[in-house]
Structure 1
Amino acid sequence: MTRLTTLMGTAALALASTTAFAADPDLLVFDWSGYEEEGFFINYAEKHGSGPTYAFFGEEEEAFQKLRSGFKADVAHPCSQSVDKWFQAGLIEPWDLSKIPTYETLADIYKTDPTFVRDGEVYFIPADLGMTGIAYNADEVTAEQVSSLQIFLDPEMAGRVSLPDNVDDAYALAYLATGTSDWTKATEEDFKKASDWLRQAHANNRAYWADGAELAQLMATGEVLVAWSWNETPVQMVGDGYNIAFEREAAEGSSSWFCGYVNLVDGPGSEDKAHDFIESFLSQETADYIVNEWGYGHSNTAAMSGFGEETLTEVGLNEISAPQLAQLPMDTSLREQMIKEFERIKAGF
């Protein structure tokens, strides 16, 4: 696979003619590291002369606690399973869809989910989606070795695997490995089995990675041979010349996720610019960039329909026959247990 940095179509032209943007003081976006890249706000920058100002978080619970403690931003980027918690805490307010016409391109399932849409008001706009599977060094590890998620418990891999420092991704792996592919139906017994498995995987873990760039560094040095990874990392590492493969069809399966943007209560900046930012993110230009450069999918269904099967397969967005755990909103009390238990596991308990 060659790196998809040719940036096909309009995104290529826009990026080629764009220099680095100074940060817009009227819009503060609280986001995952990496989303400050210019390809995510091409139209916004063309309209306002610069990209937004960014602040970053490494994990959604960290973001939640920071916002609860008084940190102010205008827009934030949680994933689907955090939305109800943020709503219940009074952190988010509705979007004005009259200012976001491209919202109409989203799939109906997003527009009707009661976690995202309450009393006709939209609190969460899905924006990006991806897959989590086994990234592995194909020079050192065979396809047969990664045919099961139990490779994360293999004594021969002690100190050569890496797990995400993210409760949802880590538990998606553990649930799949212990036979649960729908965590919205998980029982206390399922949770206990997943936690016990994750505790065993922790004993093999070289390091918990916080973002794709950190994982890429661990794999580039050869320190880590196998990782539970977003599809971003293998796409970008292959583009950089590393022989990193991505296995989504292990016997127990892999997971999928989607994230989006929320409008934070009492944001210090411009509401109009917050809406311009979302409209820009939902554009064809951003879809071109996120698929071709990052290997992620986009919530604009019209834009995604233009990508061929070859491209989607190349970046790991194709349909698979193995089980797939969708990281959908789940029972809030169970997720709170996951958060607490994951911290204990990482601490060695």
Structure 2
Amino acid sequence: MSRVYLDHNATMPLRAEARAAMTAAMDVAGNPSSVHAEGRAAKALIERARAQVAAAFGAEGADIVFTSGATEAAALALAGRDLLGAAVEHDAVASHVSGDLPVDRAGRARPAEPARSALQLANSETGVVQDLPAGLAVCDATQAFGKIPVAFNWIGCDMALISAHKIGGPKGVGALVMRRGTELAALLTGGGQEMGRRAGTENVIGIAGFGAAAEAAERELGSGAWARIADLRDGLEQRLRQAAPEVEIAGEGAARLPNTTCLISPGWKGETQVMQMDLKGFAVSAGSACSSGKVRESRVLRAMGYDEAAAGSAIRVSLGPGTTEEEITRFAEAWLAQREKHRARAA
């Protein structure tokens, strides 16, 4: 049978709209910094994408700086700044902040000084959505953008991070969204591209795909497609909990992304589950994909108060717009069958 992809939080398959925009952009020969007609045509593609991303992210009036991804956007926003973060932050953010903010059992932080804090809007492993305070310095909206209603102008932060491949755009392109007037020191210097904040010839093809994906994601969110996904996710959790009552769902009861479930099955290593499900034709993960292919104990779950055994026994299942009820049924049956085999071997 065909494989079932349930790792959309790691990357979402490329949307048809993004593919078409990128294909068209390949035929635009000019350098966007050139002043001739060919250069202006390439520049026009970038500015169209900038407008598309701004509209989809509710960032009208903000500056959008295209980068190679959310990781570069995080470095650009955070490097050299003394900001606080929580231990549940993505590695791209955690590597630049002091992990001093405590979190509750759901992984939510309550910073006393928002202006000195950088927080994620939604966690990639558990899907838990933060109740962000006003005046936040930096918001990592990478996982939330395109899955739940969110607007940069609602958040009220100085800067936000987003990524194309999390919404069905190409890998290797993202953006730093900035409240106009926010000061920023460029990491890459040279030319004056991206308003002098990120030197280097722009990735025109990738940026065009990002813009098209953002526009498509906005339409999809407005259509109610993610409500259907939430129903599929909830049905999966209910079925697994009924058949395997020892299973715990991280963040259960808290507001979560509609597509994400983090299953903790005590005594059954997450790495083993991922490999067994892969052999059965299902792509899931044991946490963030940004660890150079390594499978390791989840520091997010540890920060939430889970012990080492529980944190090492978790997998993440993340659905997408193309996920079907039949695929969820197949996954549940396969996972429960592997669980019974594990229990028999452990007996």
TM-score (norm 2): 0.29
Higher relative contact order, structure no. (Cα contacts within 8 Å, ≥ 6 residues apart)? 1
Structure richer in helix, relative to its length: 1
Structure richer in strand, relative to its length: 1
TM-score (norm 1): 0.29
Q: Which has the larger radius of gyration?
A: 2
